[in-house]
Amino acid sequence: MSDATRTPPLGVPAARITQRIAAVTDYPAATNSVPMPAPSHAPPPSSPSGATISIAPGASRPPSNPTVQSTKPTGSFLRFPQQGSLLVSPRGAYLVHATLGSGEFGAVYEGVGPFDQVYALKMMRPANRPYVEVQAEWSKEVQRLLSVRHPNVVYIYDAFEHNSLFYLALERCDHPLKAMLGRPLQDGLTIELARQLLAAVQFLHDNDIVHDDLHPGNVLITHLDRPIVKISDFGISQELRGLPAIRPNVVHHAIMAPEILTTGFTTKQSDLYQVGLLMYWMLVGEPAIPPGMPYADLCRWVAEGEPRRRAEGIGTPLGDLIARMLRRREQFRYTTAREVWSDLRELPGWKARELFPPK
Ligand SMILES: Nc1ncnc2c1ncn2[C@@H]1O[C@H](COP(=O)(O)OP(=O)(O)OP(=O)(O)O)[C@@H](O)[C@H]1O
Ligand SMILES: [Mg+2]
């Protein structure tokens, strides 16, 4: 998602807002004099300082502005990995292959690492932020992923720093959900994917975590004997720590729940609203919040309950259920993912399922 699609929520003081800059890729020059601390996260100690990156001849993806001096006192240079680069972690080396995807804060590469396994290597983009900020973000995502082990949450194998850049080694999934969107999915497939999503969301909520960023680029799919959902990207997720609601630092416009507009807070129900948007998109083939809408129009669209109206317009029991997930007021929505599933499993699309018959 581009910067244009993200904004600080209403009521959040400017100082608290994380500036997300996609185009600029290196640590800012202002941090060059800051000595580089060792990464604080326990499992991935700093990579050996002598580690080198080899660049394959004819590599297809030149690094963007790759030679700005890093914070390292040795005067080393930041180099983004390319095909053929070798990344070294205390747990082994990873040979970088193709680029799998990239978001505002991460570039994700396929790589072959320890035990000749294929991994997805997510590099935290410096994006013109100080070294310590990137390190803290990486550390937070690592800790979060380590703390939420669930079959429908992407698995983290390793986390390490290499040449002043921070990486996560994740299980390599086949594609993001967004690759399946653009035409309507069958009811049975929509419900099966929703079932897994809801199971993961319930698990997060039971652990007092709101994901806050459930868009189709952050829901990954692996195909075994049936598609398996893997929620990823905990970059902006937050712990509620017993509170019912929390102010997010940034929100994606395209998945903005109405309470963000009215109060500036998100809750567990905001995640359920985002799941409702995903289910609508799967079922209809188009998003309930049209992409690229000017921000003011988008606010009106959400505030006036247009996503819910669209879901009602589907005119089926599944559409009605999604409409309830997209109600503007939280008291009229489902409270938990578990509740959503107990209604969803009663629908004909699930009861008479042909795609995924009960085993
Ligand atoms: N484990 C994985 N397996 C396969 N592809 C992946 C994996 N992780 C990420 N990707 C690909 O890389 C893309 C970006 O990854 P990710 O969402 O983690 O980065 P991001 O910068 O935080 O994204 P954004 O800010 O847009 O949400 C995903 O949409 C997906 O296409
Ligand atoms: Mg993402």
Chain-wide mean pLDDT for the chain?
81
100 Cα to the center of ligand 1, angstroms: 8
Q: Which of 6, 110, 220, 236 to mutate to test the pocket of ligand 1 (most atoms within 8 A of CB)?
A: 220
The atom number, within ligand 1, closest to the CA of 233 reads 18
Q: How far is the CA of 73 from the centre of ligand 1 (A)?
A: 31
Exposure string over 254-283, b if 16+ CB within 10 A, otherwise e: bbbbbbbbeebbbbbbbbbbbbbbbbbbbb
Q: Is residue 257 classed as helix, strand or coil in its secondary structure? A: coil
Percent residues over pLDDT 90 in the chain:
65
* String of DSSP letters for 51-70: ---PPPTT-SSPPSSTT-B-
Across 293-318, average pLDDT: 96
Question: Which residues, judged by CB distance below 6 Å to any ligand atom, belong to the binding site of ligand 1?
Answer: 1, 100-106, 108, 120, 122, 154, 170-173, 176, 213, 217-218, 220, 232-233, 235
Model-level pTM?
0.82
Report whether CATH 3.40.50.300 matches the domain 14-171: no
pLDDT range class, residue 251, cuts 50, 70, 90: confident
Ligand approaching nearest to the C-alpha of 123: 1
Find the 234 Cα to ligand 1 centroid distance in Å.
Answer: 10
- Which atom of ligand 1 is least distant from the CA of 215? 27
- Give me the residue spans of the domains in the chain: 14-171, 175-351
For a mutational test of ligand 1's pocket, the pick from 7, 19, 166, 218, i.e. the residue with the most ligand atoms closer than 8 A to its C-beta, is: 218
For residue 240, pLDDT over 50 is answered with yes
Q: Return the sign of the alpha-carbon dihedral for residues 150, 272, 121, 78.
A: negative
Dihedral of CA atoms 319, 321, 325, 329 in degrees, nearest 10, equals 100
Pocket test for ligand 1, best of 232, 250, 251, 255 (most atoms within 8 A of CB): 232
Q: 336 vs 59, which has greater pLDDT?
A: 336
pLDDT value of residue 353: 80
**CA–CA dist 302, 257 (Å, integer):** 7
Q: What is the pLDDT of residue 225?
A: 81
Q: Which of 87-91, 263-267, 281-285 has the lowest mean pLDDT?
A: 263-267
- Give the number of the atom of ligand 1 that is nearest the alpha carbon of residue 232: 18
Rounded-to-integer distance, Cα 247 and Cα 114, Å? 39
Residue nearest to atom 13 of ligand 1 (CA): 101
Q: What is the pLDDT of residue 5?
A: 53
Fold of 175-351: Transferase(Phosphotransferase); domain 1 (1.10.510)
In the sheet with 92-102, reading across from the earlier edge strand, the strands are: 86-89, 92-102, 106-112, 118-124, 165-171, 156-162
Classify 139 as helix, strand or coil: helix
pLDDT at 266 > cutoff 50: yes
pLDDT at 6 over 80: no
